[in-house]
Amino acid sequence: MASPVETISATEKFLRCLLRSGLMPPEQLQSLAKRYGLDPRSPDPQPFVQYLIQNNHLSQFQAEKLLAGISQGLVLGPYQVLAPLGRGGMGSMVYLAKDTRGVPLSADTLHLMHSKGSMLVALKVLPPKKARQEERVLARFQREMELCRRVAHPHLTKTFEAGVIDGIYYIAMEYIRGGSLHHAIATGGPMPVPRVASLFSEVAEGLAHAHQQGLIHRDLKPSNIMITPNGHAKILDLGLALAEGETLPTDKTIVGGKGYVVGTMDYIAPEQAEDPTKVDARSDLYSLGCSMYFALTGQPPFPGGTSVQKIMRHLREYPTPITDLNPTVPVEFAAIVEHLMAKHPSRRPANAEVVRQLLQPWAAQDTVRPMDVSPYATDADLLHAIEAEHATEASVWESFSPIVFAQSPGPTKDRSGVSGVLVQKRSGSTEHGANVTPPMPPPSLPAPTNAPVRPAPPPLLPAALPISPEAEPLPLETNPGLPIYLVVGGIGLLLLLEILRRL
């Protein structure tokens, strides 16, 4: 006679999964179960799960994953993953996480301590599968890990720590509550001039600091500018940054090069489209001008078209005048944007500090806004606020899987042998790129430094298109296999059509 098969209740399965996750030690779980009066044989673990959530022992995301039998990927060294925040470049994932060490990593991060014994961070993680399959992706992420630690400024996202644990590469950053400039314009329409001037004077201030550290951002755009709850600007993402004077890797797919364009085509400077390694601080100012254009009109300077067509327009055409699309913008303010978007770098402002000074008089009309201080007394309050935002998106947790780490040990283990900040090493990084041979600039491009800004000719593009949440341009790397002969052929056809149009 066959022996009876042992059955395990759903509650016991949940308890085993929770212990495997490393989110809490056995002693704590035993104490909580006893306090609740839990019967491990219960067929329904949901009441106990809700008890753990309500008493801030688990987040909604953690609970959903544990109930689904997923125990890995909720703990990385001292960090406990609380909720997904978004997807970063290079296939990385960004989570809200809690640093269980309970000690701020630098003196200027004390204000981020919401409660004794923990600190919330945005944890950017490179999936191990990505790192193994694509060497260039790992090189890019390692590069971002190094460069992001060079800057420290109120209008740049802070990086607390970058390292590797059990072969998992991560960056622990300041968690910024708010939304991107792109989202703000997509949902609220163009901003008034004083608001734009105030935000971008802060962006210019942050850029000035990065440039002083020898870093060129190379991917400044509305989706990389966060607006805090109090209305201040924070620049995100140094994944494409280039350090002045650095030794470039031979692999063009890492930082770009002649014939391999990196950046976002709606906001890329003409010289960066020609060769992404031949740029300086003024290239970021062109992108800043394009982003201001978007904030004032609700569309990028050259909407629509393919990546190659956008490159040609940045090189050869002038966008529809801002005042045609938004008559409330004074001609004098529109002239500042035109100055920033000059085709040749020598025609743009000398540096970001000059831009800040140009914008300050216009920003003076904006409401004075205090710097942000978290209104949440505890980590739990902030987490509940984030979870409430996702309450209408029932599938958000299911659609955002945690990274499956090689190991998922609990915080009680000694991690000193495997956790640490990486030493600075030069490798290389990009975020968007593809093999592209950009068209040659027009012969009239060089100009004397003191030459006046040439007025924009009649618009060559259709009238403004209504902005929508989907309007954010796809990076060129969304089609990384674009054959070089198709790109060159496309440019030739466009040039032929332009010649015929002028006959």
> Cβ distance 141 to 92 under 8 Å?
yes
At 100, which amino acid appears? Answer: T
For 291-333, the three-class secondary structure string (H helix, E strand, C coil) is HHHHHHHCCCCCCCCCHHHHHHHHHHCCCCCHHHHCCCCCHHH
Please indicate whether residue 219 is annotated as part of the active site: yes
The separation between the first and the last C-alpha atoms of the chain, rounded to the nearest angstrom, is: 95
Strand order in the sheet with 225-227: 179-180, 225-227, 233-235
- Of 257, 217, 267, 211, which Cα lies nearest the Cα of 240? 217
CA torsion sign, 311 to 306 to 130 to 416? positive
Cross-strand pairs, 163 = 170, 421
d(CA 214, CA 387): 39
Kindly state the helix (H) or strand (E) to which residue 120 belongs, with its residue range. strand 119-126
- DSSP H helix total and E strand total for the chain: 18, 13
- Of 430, 455, 449, 373, which Cα lies nearest the Cα of 134? 430
Kindly state the helix (H) or strand (E) to which residue 84 belongs, with its residue range. strand 79-87
Q: In a 3-state reduction of DSSP, which class is residue 191? A: coil
Annotated catalytic residue, options 99, 219, 237, 379: 219
> Cβ distance 296 to 329 under 8 Å?
yes
Helix locations, 246-395, DSSP H: 252-255, 270-274, 281-297, 307-316, 322-325, 331-340, 352-363, 379-389
Structure-token pair, residue 216: 């060129």
Q: Catalytic positions, please? A: 219
